[in-house]
Amino acid sequence: MPTTFPLDPRDPESAIAAAAKRCSNWGRWGADDVLGTLNFLTDDMRARAAALVRRGAAFPLAQSFDMNGPQRGWRRRTNPVHTMLDTGTDAERGTQGFPHGIGGADDVIFMPLQASTQWDGLGHIFDHGQAWNGRRAGDVVTSDGDLVTGIQTATGRISGRGVLLDVGRVLGVDGELPDGFAITAEHLAATIAAQGPTSTVGRGDLLLVRTGRLARARRDGWGEYAGGDSPGLSFTTADWLHSTEVAAVATDTWGFEVRPNEFENAFQPLHQVAIPHIGLFIGEMWDLDALAADCAADGVHEFFLSAEPLPVTGAVGAPVVPIAVK
């Protein structure tokens, strides 16, 4: 299938600038806006989404948070390190000093906020020193964190209608797209057509795009899952993402967009349009496989989805425990 418009692989700068101009939502929700595309998701939509629940089956979409994750240290992103402050062994041994036989266990974690299943916040990516809504990057995110669009401002806003586009299952082999497969608007349309009427995507939806990349990592080992080659959204989907007015979009990959990226000497060019210009919330490393199997089985690809980010004050991204209910 053709991509939406031709890309010159040698000129990411121009392509990004043009897409940013076409897709910009700056000022759309006022100068003080911190929510971007989450503005599309209204209470009415949330109420209709809840009405999609039939069986009450719940599908958690988070990967686990532990040392067995995909991180390999790039830019100091380690896997989560979980240690105990108190243990059952100590309690049983009687070393804790509590009265009347009570014992306890407690624990602590050290982790990059984007170590596992996560939302990118609006302060995560900048374009030429500019953040969402035209702010200067240095006015938004300092060493004190994101002073304006910290992820906690989004908490309470990301529950609504989820819709799964299982591109891996519709267009892949054995449910998986190959690494380097750039998912275009045409591929998304074909998936919607194949899946049927519960798959329509529109304003305020929380879109989940499954590539099968996590299924491959689960089978073959993490390998280059974090930062290596992967299927993902084509740069050319920026316009589609903008025009559909989805509230957020998440995938089962490390980096959301196709890797290698579609330009020579480029790094995550779709992020550069989607986050600072569209104001789009992007989810990464979601585990969509069990949900996808259920959707394939019953033919229903829409559901109530709650995916509220951990409200770490000033964070530019956050762990999330998405739950889909059908």
Give whichever of 124 and 210 is closer to its own copies, judged by the CB atom: 124
- Site residues for its own copies, 61-100, by CB under 8 A, read 62-68, 73, 75-95, 98-100
Q: Examine residue 108 and tell whether it contacts its own copies (CB under 8 A).
A: yes
Cα distances from 238 to residues 66, 136, 165, 241, 254, in angstroms, run 33, 22, 17, 5, 18
Q: Under the criterion CB under 8 A, does residue 298 sit at the interface with its own copies?
A: no
- Among residues 4, 18, 22, 53, which is the contact residue for its own copies, using CB under 8 A? 53
159 lines the binding site for its own copies (CB under 8 A): yes
CA angle 249-16-73, nearest 5°? 60
Closer to its own copies at the Cβ: 112 or 180?
112
Among 34, 35, 146, 207, binds its own copies (CB under 8 A): 146
Count residues binding its own copies (CB under 8 A): 116
Phi, psi of 38 (to 5 degrees): -65, -20
Sign of CA dihedral 129, 132, 137, 143: negative
Only segment of 25-33, 37-45, 166-174, 278-286 that touches its own copies (CB under 8 A): 37-45
**3-class SS of residue 315:** coil
* CB 248 within 8 Å of CB 283: yes
Among 76, 9, 61, 79, which residue's Cα sits nearest to residue 225?
A: 79
Stretch that binds its own copies, among 55-63, 214-222, 229-237, 252-260 (CB under 8 A): 55-63
Asked if 297 touches its own copies (CB under 8 A), the answer is: no
* Binding of residue 249 to its own copies (CB under 8 A): no
Could you tell me where the DSSP H helices lie in 141-261? Answer: 167-171, 185-195, 213-220, 238-244
Candidate residues 136, 203, 223, 299; the one interacting with its own copies per rule CB under 8 A: 136
In whole angstroms, how close is the CB of 256 to its own copies at the nearest point?
Answer: 13
Query: What distance in Å separates the CA atoms of residue 6 and residue 3, rounded to the nearest whole number?
Result: 7
DSSP symbols for 250-280: EESSSSSB-BS-SSTT-S-HHHHHIIIII--
Looking at the Cβ atoms of 256 and 263, the one nearer to its own copies is 263
* The binder of its own copies chosen from 178, 180, 227, 311 (CB under 8 A): 311
Report which residue type is found at 18. A
Nearer to its own copies, 5 or 110 (CB): 110
Q: Which of 5, 21, 27, 109 binds its own copies (CB under 8 A)?
A: 109
